[in-house]
């Protein structure tokens, strides 16, 4: 068992987070250092991904390491009934670290407990996505020049959105104020509101987007995730609930930056892309440097 895994953002304290962000800045200056020469990283994706898998794989390859794994679990022996326990045991005997995305909440924690090598949670159901959170923090730091005392507006699928759940926990180190904007069906779960109250983090809730983020420093949009709904009728009711358009940004603060973990569907109109406040594509690029910092920390002692 390895205790170096990154399963939840709460595995890292404030100093750990700041250390990763500082390391990411160094990797951004030079992303091609061969510090993982001879190392093998396994990427096991039981759910679809573009950015997370490809940026982790690019991170490792640019650092001189190699990749094994699968992007479609149907091509692995899990399709024959092999347990997650046995898959992790086997892959852990081939690789120096495992990056895993799984549809079950808690799967990454379980994998980290049975793995002989570090495990990175690349998203477990609606629970956590800590590497996304670290790249979100890096993007916030780069655009705002600070992490402390920011107004952050979280919009969309706050019920199933693992990125917003992880972000609340990470920002708790930096005195944020949150606004949660979601329809009734996708409201922020109570456990995260309890977390905010316990940590003296002010928050308000609304179901209105237009005119409701003019005091925000960060507008964090999220996709309504069809794959998390048991009732597809409910998904149909809320799928287009918010669409951010360029004309809605006219009263926003000059320093506002719009983040989105991506992929987007209808929640950000393409006419926002040309606005200098749109930062979601740079945010995804930042993921490369942050994931290099994570792999360096996990594999290089
Ligand atoms: N942000 C994110 O997790 O994107 P992918 O699903 O494409 O990996």
Please give the positions annotated as active site: 51-52, 80, 101, 129
The residue among 142, 197, 196, 204 whose CA lies nearest residue 170 is: 196
pTM, two decimals, is 0.95
pLDDT at 1 exceeding the cut of 70: no
The pLDDT-based confidence of 301 (bands split at 50, 70, 90) is low
Query: Any bridge partners for residue 67, and if so which?
Result: 41
The pLDDT-based confidence of 229 (bands split at 50, 70, 90) is confident
**130-284 has the same fold as 9-128+287-300:** yes
The average confidence (pLDDT) of the chain is 95
Question: Is there an atom of ligand 1 within 6 Å of 143 CB?
Answer: no
Lowest mean pLDDT among 43-52, 144-153, 159-168, 221-230: 221-230
Fold of 9-128+287-300: Rossmann fold (3.40.50)
pLDDT single digits (tens) 127-142: 999 999 999 999 999 9
pLDDT at 225 exceeding the cut of 50: yes
Sorted by where each begins, the domain ranges of the chain are: 9-128+287-300, 130-284
The SS3 assignment for 69 reads strand
pLDDT at 100 exceeding the cut of 70: yes
Note the CATH architecture for domain 130-284.
3-Layer(aba) Sandwich (3.40)
Find how far residue 137's CA is from the centre of its chain.
Answer: 10
Contact 204, 180 (CB under 8 A): yes
- Give me ligand 1 centre to Cα 157, in Å: 15
pLDDT at 3: 56
pLDDT at 201 exceeding the cut of 70: yes
- The residue whose C-alpha atom lies closest to atom 6 belonging to ligand 1 is 49
The SS3 assignment for 242 reads coil
- Give me ligand 1 centre to Cα 251, in Å: 30
- Give me ligand 1 centre to Cα 263, in Å: 6
């Amino acid at each position: 068992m390895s205790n170096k895994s990154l399963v939840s953002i709460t595995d890292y304290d404030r100093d750990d987070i700041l250390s990763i962000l500082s390391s990411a800045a160094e990797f951004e200056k030079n992303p091609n250092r061969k510090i993982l020469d001879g190392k093998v990283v396994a990427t096991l994706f039981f759910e679809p991904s573009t950015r997370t898998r490809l940026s982790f794989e690019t991170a490792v390859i640019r650092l001189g390491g190699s990749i094994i794994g699968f992007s479609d679990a149907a091509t692995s022996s899990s399709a024959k009934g092999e347990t997650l326990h046995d898959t992790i045991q086997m892959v852990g005997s081939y690789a120096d670290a495992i990056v895993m995305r799984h549809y079950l909440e808690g799967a990454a924690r379980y994998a980290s407990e049975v793995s002989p090598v570090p495990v990175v949670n690349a998203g477990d159901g609606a629970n956590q996505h800590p590497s996304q959170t670290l790249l979100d923090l890096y993007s916030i730091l780069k655009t705002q020049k600070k992490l402390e005392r920011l107004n952050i507006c979280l919009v969309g699928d706050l019920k199933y959105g693992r990125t917003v759940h992880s972000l609340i926990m990470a920002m708790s180190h930096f005195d944020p104020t949150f606004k949660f904007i979601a329809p009734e069906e996708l409201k922020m779960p109570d456990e995260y509101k309890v977390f905010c109250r316990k940590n003296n983090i002010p928050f308000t809730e609304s179901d209105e987007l237009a005119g409701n983020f003019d005091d925000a420093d960060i507008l964090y949009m999220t996709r309504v995730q069809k794959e998390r709904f048991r009732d597809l009728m409910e998904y149909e009711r809320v799928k287009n609930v918010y669409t951010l358009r360029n004309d809605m940004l006219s009263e926003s603060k000059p320093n506002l930056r719009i983040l989105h973990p991506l992929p987007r569907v209808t929640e950000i109109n393409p006419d926002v892309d040309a606005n200098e406040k749109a930062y979601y594509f740079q945010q995804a690029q930042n993921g490369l440097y942050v994931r290099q910092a994570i792999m360096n920390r996990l594999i290089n002692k």
